Amino acid sequence: MTNLHFEGLLIGIATFLIIGVFHPVIIKMEYHTGTRYWWVLLLAGIIAILVGLFFVANIVLNAILGAFAFSAFWGIGELFAQEKRVQKGWFPRNPKRTYKWDKENE
């Protein structure tokens, strides 16, 4: 009982925090820029995977990088889903932006 291993707990807490941060980031990202910069999330995920594969030997940090990478990938889909939620009126529109569905209805 003297050897306690907190690695799993640390990975779980970090994953929870990463997902918790991504949620409002995706909402703000769609509000300010729409889906135009989805590729930033793709690039961030790819970079996190490559850093984990080639530069990080620590298993805890590697797992956290993996959680970040796949949260970024998941965020791409959520960014487009957020756009649909805005279109349905479930989230506020940015009055400074023109939405693509505004042009379709003209």
> Does residue 82 lie in a domain region?
yes
Question: Cα–Cα distance between 52 and 5 in angstroms, integer?
Answer: 22
Question: Is the model's pLDDT at 2 over the cut of 80?
Answer: no
For residue 72, the model assigns a pLDDT of 98
> Does residue 70 lie in a domain region?
yes
> Does residue 79 lie in a domain region?
yes
Residue range of the domain that includes 85? 59-96
For residue 49, the model assigns a pLDDT of 98
> Does residue 63 lie in a domain region?
yes
pLDDT band of residue 105 (cuts 50, 70, 90) is low
Q: Which residues contact 98 (CB under 8 A, 6 or more apart)?
A: none
**pLDDT, tens digit, for every residue of 84-104?**
999 999 999 999 988 888 876
Question: Could you give the C-alpha distances from 16 to 7, 47, 51, 64, in angstroms and in order?
Answer: 14, 20, 21, 10
Query: How many distinct structural domains can be found in the chain?
Result: 1
**pLDDT, tens digit, for every residue of 16-66?**
999 999 999 999 999 999 999 999 999 999 999 999 999 999 999 999 999
